[in-house]
Structure 1
Amino acid sequence: MLTTHRKQQILSILKRQGQVIAKEVSAAMSVSEDTIRRDLREMAQEGLLQRVHGGALPASPAVADFTQREQIAPEGKVAIGRAAAKMVQPGQVVILDGGTTARQVARHIPLDLKATIVTHSPTIALELIDHQNIEVILIGGRLFRHSVVAVGASAIETIAQIHADTFFMGVTGIHPKTGLTTGDYEEAAIKRAMSHAAAETIVLASAEKLNAASPYAVVPLSEISGIITERSAEKTLLRPYEKLGITVTRA
């Protein structure tokens, strides 16, 4: 079987089953596992999938820069942002992640709501500039330009001093096998620190992030309380999370 044909078959399996197990694919195609692993390496370099131990998972498309990501599923992100904003209660301390979906949360917080928003994103802080009753705590650090957020040791130290009610987390991938993942090592550490600083973590996940994975783990699914996704998301994609007792809100 030609390499091109093998890779097409691998993508077909990935789409149909949501994962590729190298041992099973090598047996089905009558080629060695080394050959399949080489195919997977090459496909991962092309951004077609995310390699994991023993095989591969779908790669998240949400790894482009901030401007490009704003063009991905904009209507879905607006709906998710609106639903998340409704969950913010008066007097709460809420940590709001950076990213394009979190930006929609900030835009839909009522102007008269009195609460505290903690964020490491200057973009989010600017969205809240006209919310006179919102106290904004902006966490500083080294600017990670890809997501326009602060990262680094000083940011993590500041986050450790906060005890928030809720953390609205943005990720590039959420998968029953790998949990919550993102595309940068330092950004993963910041998200993990913010999750540990809140009583509950709710994940903002537009449909393209479901059943997808990125290189760096944030937290396992056992550490989150809820997921907000688009109404159009396939129920079969959401079922594994509901079985784990995670509250899934379809916005």
Structure 2
Amino acid sequence: MLKEERQKMIIKEINLHNKVLSTDLSLLLKVSDDTIRRDLKELVDSGKILKVHGGAVSPSFVSTFTTQTDVYAAEEKKRIVQKALKLIKNNSVIVTEGGTTMLELARMIPDHIKATFFTISPQVAITLSEHSNLDVVTIGGKLVKNANLHIGSAVINRLAELRADICFLGANAFSVKDGLTDVDWEVVQVKKALIRCAKKVVVMTISEKLDTVQRLNICGIDKVDYLITELPVNSDILKPYQNTNLVLL
């Protein structure tokens, strides 16, 4: 495989899953760790990705509010959010994580909605605060700089005190067999706590992430109530999910 083709695949994997590990890229592309290390360095030097410990992330996943970055599948994420908004009722208590889909949700909430949001993402909290009818609570802890999420025991303990109506989650990977999976151990523990504190769990993901699996389990598909993608619910891609207890939107 040519270097240019290999690097295009690396960028696609990073855009799709937000964060990837060097060891996983080496296995996927069937090349040495040194080759992946050189590829990542070239992509970092060109500004296409950001290097983090053990792998790389998409710039749009960790960008500040003043940084202009292209969000992967931006139009698809907007369609997902339009569907998700139907689940938000007045006076709801809602918990969220972070990520580009959650930021889009925070931007698109209608101004007439009155609700309380608890979030582990500083970016999402600031974006939500622009809506005058929303009460916004940031659950603070150690900040994961390559994901802009608060993690740790303080966050998990605080979430244990909540009884939210809905939990909105993005997905690194989601499948019928393995459910919701991710790559970061500490982030996984906080996402488990988010799920435990909510009556209903909503997974919002572009369809490209369906039928994919990462190393660490967050929850089985039986713990998820709604699956929202950009696709119509009768899409062939969603057929395996139609035979579960999920509500598809």
Q: Trace 1:133-212 onto structure 2 (pairs within 5 A).
A: 133-212=133-212
Query: Hey, what's the Cα distance between the residues in 2 that align with 1:189 and 1:209?
Result: 21
Q: Deviations over 1:157-196 (max 9, x none)?
A: 0000000000011120001121101121111111111011
Residue 101 of structure 1 corresponds to: 101
TM-score by length of 2: 0.73
Residue 65 of structure 1 corresponds to: 57
Cα distance change, pair 47–78 in 1 and its aligned pair in 2 (3 A)? farther
Deviation at 1:126, TM superposition (A): 0.9
Query: Hey, what's the Cα distance between the residues in 2 that align with 1:43 and 1:232?
Result: 35
Deviation at 1:213, TM superposition (A): 1.1
- Secondary structure of residue in 1 paired with 2:126: helix
Q: Is the 8 A contact 1:81 1:101 kept in 2?
A: yes
The percent identity for this pair of structures is 30
- Secondary structure of residue in 1 paired with 2:219: coil
Cα distance change, pair 129–205 in 1 and its aligned pair in 2 (3 A)? same
Q: Is the 8 A contact 1:182 1:188 kept in 2?
A: yes
Query: Hey, what's the Cα distance between the residues in 2 that align with 1:93 and 1:125?
Result: 14
Cα distance change, pair 66–82 in 1 and its aligned pair in 2 (3 A)? farther
Cα distance change, pair 237–122 in 1 and its aligned pair in 2 (3 A)? same
- Secondary structure of residue in 2 paired with 1:116: strand
Cα-Cα RMSD: 2.2
Q: Trace 1:1-251 onto structure 2 (pairs within 5 A).
A: 44-46=24-26, 48=28, 65=57, 67-69=59-61, 71-231=71-231, 235-249=235-249
Deviation at 1:200, TM superposition (A): 0.7
Q: Partner amino acid for 1:67?
A: P
Unaligned segments of structure 1, at least 5 residues: 1-41, 50-62
Deviation at 1:248, TM superposition (A): 1.0
Moved over 6 A (4+): none
TM-score by length of 1: 0.72
Q: Is the 8 A contact 1:86 1:109 kept in 2?
A: no
Query: Hey, what's the Cα distance between the residues in 2 that align with 1:67 and 1:206?
Result: 18
Unaligned segments of structure 2, at least 5 residues: 1-21, 30-54, 62-69
Query: Hey, what's the Cα distance between the residues in 2 that align with 1:44 and 1:234?
Result: 33
Deviation at 1:47, TM superposition (A): 5.8
Query: Hey, what's the Cα distance between the residues in 2 that align with 1:120 and 1:66?
Result: 19
Q: Is the 8 A contact 1:175 1:210 kept in 2?
A: yes
Q: Is the 8 A contact 1:66 1:147 kept in 2?
A: no
Q: Is the 8 A contact 2:178 2:217 kept in 1?
A: yes
Q: Partner amino acid for 2:182?
A: T
Cα distance change, pair 68–133 in 1 and its aligned pair in 2 (3 A)? closer
Pick which of 147-156 and 235-244 moved more: 235-244
Cα distance change, pair 169–64 in 1 and its aligned pair in 2 (3 A)? farther
